[in-house]
């Protein structure tokens, strides 16, 4: 009986301690998607002037404070709505060119170097998985792009090169889902 009581006590203590660890991530969701962040991200909505006209962009960013231990430096998700007449996941003839421009723009904006690019899908929607060397090889940007009808979802982590391919990157990207 003492063995069972000790086991139950140890089990309950483990459950209590594990429920209060930094592994408890925050669920961010809106009417289109859901994703987990390590902490509550800052959100910003803006209108961006482009050659296609004004685009609405919602950005969610969690920048890890220096005082906290994390494998990554930044977690981000951006949702950009394009005019349906300009780009849509149904317009298969335009998708490769659209992603090429998005990826090349991301690499150029950080003066980085594209390390890998893979064609992916989410629920049948086209996407790209990208790795970019950043800051002269000191950091790595991992990105996932998905074009869902006329909305581009771009999720991103930035980490020091020594921490690349960590479990938090997998958890963040793996938690993204459409509603």
Report residue 95 as tokens.
């998708």
> Is the alpha carbon torsion for 30, 34, 40, 46 positive or negative?
negative
Q: What is the pLDDT of residue 23?
A: 64
- Give the integer Cα–Cα distance in Å for 49 and 55: 6
- In the chain, the domains with their CATH numbers are 24-178 (3.40.1000.10)
Query: Can you give the pTM of this predicted structure?
Result: 0.84
CB–CB of 145/127 below 8 Å? yes
Q: CA torsion 126→60→173→52, rounded to 10°?
A: 20
Q: What is the pLDDT of residue 176?
A: 98
Q: What is the pLDDT of residue 15?
A: 38
Q: What is the pLDDT of residue 53?
A: 84
Q: In what order do the strands lie in the sheet with 177-178?
A: 26-29, 33-37, 177-178
Q: What is the pLDDT of residue 4?
A: 46
pLDDT tens for each residue of the chain, 179 residues long = 444 444 434 343 333 333 333 469 999 999 999 999 999 999 999 998 888 888 999 999 999 999 999 999 999 999 999 998 899 999 999 999 999 999 999 999 999 999 999 999 999 999 999 999 998 889 999 999 999 999 999 999 999 999 988 999 999 999 999 99
């Amino acid at each position: 009986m003492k063995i069972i009581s000790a086991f139950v006590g140890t089990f309950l203590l483990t459950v209590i301690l594990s429920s209060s660890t930094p592994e408890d991530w925050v669920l961010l969701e809106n009417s289109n998607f859901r994703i987990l962040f390590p902490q509550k991200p800052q959100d910003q909505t803006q209108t961006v002037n482009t050659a296609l006209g004004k685009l609405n962009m919602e950005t969610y960013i969690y920048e890890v404070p220096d005082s906290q231990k994390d494998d990554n430096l930044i977690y981000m998700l951006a949702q950009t709505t394009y005019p349906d007449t300009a780009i849509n996941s149904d317009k298969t003839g335009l998708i490769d060119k659209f992603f090429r421009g998005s990826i090349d723009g991301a690499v150029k904006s950080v003066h980085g170097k594209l390390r890998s690019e893979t064609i992916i899908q989410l629920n049948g929607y086209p996407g790209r998985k990208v790795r970019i060397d950043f800051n002269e090889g000191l950091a790595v940007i991992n990105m996932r792009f998905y074009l869902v009808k006329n909305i581009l979802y771009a999720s991103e982590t930035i980490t020091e090169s020594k921490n690349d391919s960590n479990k938090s990157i997998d958890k963040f990207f793996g938690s993204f889902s459409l509603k």
